Structure 1
């Protein structure tokens, strides 16, 4: 990787951390300069504006979390286990989130709802991407005979993602992982009711 490319990547990585903790409005160019150690001229050599940095930073943060989701899902065999794996990535959101500051999609969606249409669109794309992945897992579970044939994949995916994001929000706000752990337990029990047969997955919520 060329030095210029390494510098650009460094700016994106540091900016992603700042934006995810302080938000778009709460982050200034001076903050990016201070945290990255790159002077203003160096920043503008790679980016035309703070908006451009923010979009690239969101892509970086979202892709990093997405990879962690994929790694967790790939470790599971059953459809139920794969769905629970999404929660496992954030089971210790208070002390050890997959990306500093919490969920990039959630943070971006909340702040940019009425203020930054491009960032909001990126967050919405992320939402649909994860919902599509979950729906595909659920449909595979139905085909494999794990789930009941009349299970609504759209509804279950929406329910799962709502529990996941709600658990992240409440646990971060309260400074206590109990909300995420309760949601894992509730969702696990619900999945048992959707199944035609007993399944096995790592009940990591019992670790704490």
Structure 2
């Protein structure tokens, strides 16, 4: 176990992330985390108040990994339409090779984000809002730079785009192949071509 408290905390988060993301909040236990980290329950409680706090930190870490990778891929592109296409490409690879075991932390956690887990639900809502806002900014900038038609509603397109991709990821993972995602990918690429100048 690391002697540095911050390193210990980071180790707990890193090992807890795939546990919560594959098992889900309800099924994941502190015993799973102690087994994965080699850290006692007492040491875990020395860094976190409770299981909710560990789950929240793990969720935040998972979202930061995914959004960081998306931001990096998008940053290579010069135009708004190409940035949107880059996101489609990223998620297409993501289905069979997710950066976190279990896949999308937002999608996985959303299934359990009901009234019994308000701490988790609020974080999911905030993460979704940030992603939709980032998409809307890409589209708005594309309109201002005359890359996207001016009659496109940035917020509406952002919601449609994100919801469609998340739905396609869910279907493809359940079905065990990328066929549904490929259909959605083709459809979204056509929509991007239609709104592009």
Paired position in structure 2 for 1:111: 112
CA distance in 2, matches of 1:10, 1:89: 27
CA RMSD of aligned residues (A): 1.4
1:179 paired residue number = 180
Alignment correspondent of 1:45 = 46
The equivalent of 1:121 in structure 2 is 122
Q: Following the alignment from structure 2 to structure 1, what is the Cα–Cα distance between the partners of residues 125 and 146?
A: 32
Structure 2 distance, partners of 1:90, 1:75, is: 16
Residue pairs, 1:1-208, within 5 angstroms: 3-196=4-197
How big is the shift at 1:2?
6.2
Query: Shift of the alpha carbon at 1:134?
Result: 0.4
How many angstroms apart in 2 are the aligned matches of 1:44 and 1:35? 15
Q: How far apart are residue 28 of structure 1 and its match? A: 0.9
| Distance across 1 between alignment mates of 2:30 and 2:151 | 52
CA distance in 1, matches of 2:122, 2:85: 27
State the TM-score, normalized to the length of structure 2.
0.94
* Structure 1 contact 93–177 (Cα < 8 Å) conserved: no
- On the 8 A contact 1:79/1:146 being kept in 2, the answer is yes
Compute the displacement of 1:9 (Å).
0.4
Q: Which runs of 5+ in 2 are unaligned?
A: none
TM-score, with structure 1 as normaliser: 0.89
Q: Which runs of 5+ in 1 are unaligned?
A: 197-208
